[in-house]
Structure 1
Amino acid sequence: MKLENIRAIVTGAASGIGRQFALQLARSGASLVAVDIDSDGLRSLAREGQGAPGRLLTAQVDVTREDEVKAAVEDALAQLEGLDTLVNCAGILRDGLLVAPEEEWVRKLPTAQWKAVIDTNLTGPYLMAREVAAAMLRHRVRPGLIVNVSSVTSKGNPGQSNYSASKAGLDALTRTWGLELAPHGIRVAGIAPGLTDTPMLATMSSEQRERLLAQVPLGRVGTTEEIWLALEFIIRCDYFTARVIDIDGGATF
C-alpha cells in the first residue's frame, strides 16, 4: 500500500503514539479521521496538522460504545469516500496488584478498574475492527489493513494484570483476524512498543519506570517517531500479516 493513497481511521489519536501516527500519515499525504474521547487533544491535533499534504479530520468517539463506533465508521466512509485502513491505538492504564496485604486487610484490584482497561484496550479494538472490516467487505476493498497497537507487557508485568491481559488478547486477535481476513485481501498486523516517551508513561510511578527501564538493554525509552517506523513498514510491506512487531530496545520482560 502507498502511504499517500490510504484512507484511514486512527483511534487514540489525541496524544502519544496515536497522535504521532495521525500526524505522520497526514504529512505523508494520507487522508484520515483521527478518533479519540479527548476533544481538547483532538482540537490541538487538528491545529498541528494544518498545512499537511494529506487530509486530517477529527471525531470525538468513545471506542467502548458500540453505537458511537458504528456511527464513526459510517461517517468516516462518507467523509473520506472510502476506507481501507484502521489503526487501533486507543488504550488506558489503571494499574494495580491483583491483591496486596495491608496491616489488617487485603487490598484487591477493583473490578471497575479491571473492566475499564479491558473495555478500552480490547473491546474497543474489537468493535472498531469488526465495523471497519465489515465495511471493507461490503465495498469490496482490496487491499485493506488493520493495525493493532499492543505492548511488550502482553507477556506479563507485575501490577498490570488488566493491561497485560488486554494486550495479550489483542495479540491473539491480531493473529486470528489476520488468518480470517487474508482470503479477503485484508492484512492484520500488530505493533508492540516497549517503554516509549508518551503521556501514558508519565502516569507510571518513578519506581515502576526505573524497574522497567532496567530491563531494556539499550538503556533508554523509545520515541513515538521510532514506533511510527514500524507502522510505515507494515503499510508498505504487502506481504506482512498476522504478526506483531516488538519495538522495545531488546526489553526482557
Structure 2
Amino acid sequence: MTPLLQDKVAVVTGGAQGIGEAIARTFIDHGARVVIGDRDGAAAAATAAALGEGRAIGVACDVTDGEQVSSLIARAVEAFGALDVMVNNAGITRDATMRKMSEEQFDQVIDVHLRGSWLGTKHAAEAMRDGGRPGAIINMSSISGKVGFFGQTNYSAAKAGVVGLSKAAAKELARHGIRVNAIQPGLIATDMTRAMPEDIWETKLAEIPMGRAGSVDEIASVALFLASNLSSYMTGTVQEVTGGRLM
C-alpha cells in the first residue's frame, strides 16, 4: 500500500515535543517530509535529527511573528520543493481566574493560538496557491474552545476562535483546492497534563466515557487522516478527539 502522504511536504508548528512531535513522526512514517517549527530552534533541530536525516528539518519560529512564519514556510518550499500540509499546533497556557489574569497573560495566549493559527493559515495558503497544488491546513483547537473551562478565559477564547477561523478560511480557500479543518483534543496524556494535581486529573478522567486519557499518537492519527486524501471531501470540520468527554 502506498503511504498516505507519499512525497508530500508538511510544516508542523510546535513540533519539537508532545502532540506536534507525534504528528511530525506520523507524517514521516507515512512518506512525508516535514519542517518542524518551534520557538526553541535547538529543540526543533534535535527532534528533526531524531526523526530521520533528509526527512525532517527544524527551524526556529515564533508563530506570533508574521515574518518568521513566512520564512518557516519558505524554508519548506526551499528545502523540499513545495508545501502540501500545514499544521498550526503551537500553543501555550497561562491559566488563572479572570480576576487574577493579567492583560499580558490574556494577550500571550490569544497571540500564540489565534494569531499564530491565522498567520500559519494565511501564509500556508499563499504558498499552496503559488505552488498550484491542492493542500490541507489543520488547526489545533481544544475541547476548552467548545465548553469553556474554569481559569481559562484566555485559552477557551483562543481555541473557540480557532474554530471560527478554520470555518471562515475553509470557505475562502475551497475554490483553490485547499481544505481547512480543526482538531479539538480532550484530555491527552503529556508531560504537561500529567503534572497537574492528582485530584484534578481524576476529576477530568471521571468525565470521559471511555475512562482514560488519550495519547499523542491518537491525535496524530486524526491529523494524518485530515492531511491525506482519505478526507478529500472534508473542509471546515471540527474533529473532537476526547474519548466522548463533554459530548
CA distance in 2, matches of 1:170, 1:252: 19
Give the partner amino acid of 1:79.
A
Offset at residue 209 of structure 1 (A): 2.7
Give the partner amino acid of 2:137.
I
Q: CA RMSD in A?
A: 1.7
Q: 1:193 aligns with which of 179, 185, 197?
A: 185
Q: 2:125 aligns with which of 133, 137, 151?
A: 133
Offset at residue 139 of structure 1 (A): 2.4
1:19-168 paired onto structure 2 within 5 Å: 19-50=21-52, 55-99=55-99, 108-141=100-133, 143-155=134-146, 156-168=148-160
1:56-85, CA deviations, whole angstroms, 9 ceiling, x for partnerless residues?
A: 111011111112112212222111111111
Offset at residue 208 of structure 1 (A): 3.3
Q: Name the stretch that deviates more: 11-20 or 233-242.
A: 233-242
Offset at residue 203 of structure 1 (A): 4.9
Q: 1:228 aligns with which of 213, 220, 223?
A: 220
Q: Return the TM-score normalized by structure 1.
A: 0.90
Offset at residue 5 of structure 1 (A): 2.5
CA distance in 1, matches of 2:179, 2:4: 14
Structure 2 match to 1:12: 14
Give the partner amino acid of 1:189.
N
Offset at residue 212 of structure 1 (A): 2.0
Contact 2:188/2:215 (8 A) holds in 1: yes
Give the partner amino acid of 1:80.
F
Q: Name the stretch that deviates more: 84-93 or 68-77.
A: 68-77
1:132-186, CA deviations, whole angstroms, 9 ceiling, x for partnerless residues?
A: 1012122222x21100111111121111111111100001111111111111100
The 3-state SS of whatever aligns with 1:4 is coil
Structure 1 match to 2:231: 237
1:6-30, CA deviations, whole angstroms, 9 ceiling, x for partnerless residues?
A: 1111111011110000111112210
Structure 2 match to 1:181: 173
CA distance in 2, matches of 1:199, 1:120: 20
CA distance in 1, matches of 2:86, 2:48: 19
CA distance in 1, matches of 2:197, 2:70: 36
The 3-state SS of whatever aligns with 1:192 is strand
Identity among equivalent positions (%) equals 38
Contact 1:195/1:212 (8 A) holds in 2: yes
Q: Name the stretch that deviates more: 85-94 or 212-221.
A: 212-221
Which structure is larger by alpha-carbon Rg, 1 or 2? 1
Structure 1: runs of 5 or more not aligned: 100-107
Structure 2: runs of 5 or more not aligned: none
CA distance in 2, matches of 1:189, 1:5: 21
Contact 1:42/1:60 (8 A) holds in 2: yes
Q: Name the stretch that deviates more: 188-197 or 209-218.
A: 209-218
